[in-house]
Amino acid sequence: MAERVIPLVDQRLTALRAAVPAQSVPATGLLADTLGRPLRDLRISVTDRCNFRCSYCMPKEVFDKDYQYLPHASLLSFEEITRVARQFLAHGVRKLRLTGGEPLLRKNIEILVSQLAQLRTVEGTPPELTLTTNGSLLARKAKSLKDAGLQRVTVSLDGLDDAVFRRMNDVDFPVAEVLEGIAAAREAGLGPVKVNMVVKRGTNEHEILPMARHFRGTGIVLRFIEYMDVGATNGWCMDEVMPSGEVRALLATEFPLVPLEAAAPGETAQRWGYADGQGEVGFISSVTQAFCGDCNRARLSTEGKLYLCLFASNGYDLRSLVRGGASDEELASAIGHIWQGRGDRYSELRGTLAAEPGTGRRRVEMSYIGG
């Protein structure tokens, strides 16, 4: 068995400077990067902590009891997050997604939800406000999150077989409690609930059909995600990737599928519906079918770094501006300037890039900026 490589560079301790440009970049809602991609989606990490130790995200041998999490003083406060989010909305963002780590571990997360729900897009409408969770705390939090203004949740669930699920989360957490959380979210009106399943060949591909059977006809959208090469600690190799086309072919042996139109520009998942009208499934194929061409997502880390790609190595330090006295106009201008220079398209270039090991370039961990 190959040894896991533990990264020598902690991206939380490095950052690119976020400077206020000499020529202002006004917030008009029409911002575009070097490839003409607009800014529409901001994913906000509210904590770098998680109570699961999934091997593809926070493997236990790296994130052990001695792992040093960010101190609370380093994290953006709820007021700081809301202020930054307001500037992103002014540039055209329409969707805010809270993520982690596990976002429900952030104390009083409902207060942040309430603050963000009061913001408005350039069109004058409330932003779409969603949250991604492992579901472990959802049963007790769903109603309060809905009451605070959260609109929808996405739950990560990699299998229904309890033994498989406990092995994958690596903390012996039972699948039944996640299913209770999903039920509570539906009851609270946090829908349509989406369930994300990371498919890792040799680990849980036998759970694909049982998952489809369980959620088909319930109104819950099941999405299959290719195992991705995010970060440097998950021991990723292509042999463990099960392409979405293969997953779809397996599903079609039992449930005929028909393609559906994308719900919105830049959507990560390809949508397919059951031919008999019993709902839909999605396929997120960033390894085999890159969707960089219309990627309109930015990511804000829990201590205020702006990342332009899930596979980025460094983020831009917005916290220094937020805490350094920059005005809202200056903060918005810095964000606009950074996005205008964006040319990231890692998934499209994956096959042509030089091998990462030994180059000194380490991708940021998914547990740090969310999926």
Rounded CA-CA distance 318/19 in Å is 9
Please give the residue that has the higher pLDDT: either 6 or 251. 251
Rounded CA-CA distance 270/302 in Å is 29
DSSP state for residue 32 in the 8-state scheme: B
User: For residue 119, which of 80, 79, 85, 76 has the smallest C-alpha distance?
Assistant: 85
Q: Domain map of the chain by residue range?
A: 11-23+33-369
Measured in degrees and rounded to the nearest 5, phi and psi for residue 340 equal: -60, -25
Amino acid at the residue 261:
E
Using DSSP's 3-state secondary structure scheme, residue 273 falls into: strand
Burial (CB < 10 A; 0-12, 13-18, 19+), residue 16, is middle
Token pair of 111 as six digits: 């207060």
Instruction: Please determine, for residue 181, whether its predicted confidence score (pLDDT) is greater than 70.
Output: yes
Token pair of 206 as six digits: 């036998």
Instruction: Please determine, for residue 358, whether its predicted confidence score (pLDDT) is greater than 60.
Output: no
Burial 138-166 (b: 16+ CB within 10 A, else e): bbebbeebbebbbbbbbbbbbbbbeebbe
| The pLDDT value given to residue 8 | 38
| The pLDDT value given to residue 371 | 61
| The pLDDT value given to residue 228 | 74
DSSP state for residue 105 in the 8-state scheme: G
Token pair of 52 as six digits: 């699961």
Helix (H) or strand (E) holding 95: strand 95-99
User: For residue 332, which of 93, 129, 118, 41 has the smallest C-alpha distance?
Assistant: 93
Instruction: Please determine, for residue 237, whether its predicted confidence score (pLDDT) is greater than 80.
Output: no
Rounded CA-CA distance 302/44 in Å is 7
Token pair of 358 as six digits: 């030994």
How many Cβ atoms from other residues are within 10 Å of residue 67's Cβ?
Answer: 11
Burial (CB < 10 A; 0-12, 13-18, 19+), residue 125, is exposed
Number of alpha carbons in the 13 Å side-chain half-sphere of residue 21: 14
- The percentage of the chain sitting over the pLDDT mark of 90, rounded to a whole number, equals 71
| The pLDDT value given to residue 13 | 58
Instruction: Please determine, for residue 336, whether its predicted confidence score (pLDDT) is greater than 70.
Output: yes
Question: pLDDT grade, residue 221 (50/70/90)?
Answer: very high
Q: What is the pLDDT of residues 113-138, one digit of tens each?
A: 999 999 999 999 999 999 999 999 99
Q: What is the pLDDT of residues 3-62, one digit of tens each?
A: 444 443 455 657 898 989 999 999 999 999 999 999 999 999 999 999 999 887 888 988
Q: Give the angle 17-21-23 at the CA atoms, nearest 5°.
A: 170
Q: Name the pTM for this structure.
A: 0.90
Considering the domain 11-23+33-369, what is its CATH architecture? Alpha-Beta Barrel (3.20)
DSSP state for residue 22 in the 8-state scheme: S
Using DSSP's 3-state secondary structure scheme, residue 231 falls into: coil
Q: What is the full DSSP assignment across 290-315?
A: --GGG--EEEE-TTSEEESSTT-S--
Token pair of 78 as six digits: 């709820």
| The pLDDT value given to residue 157 | 96
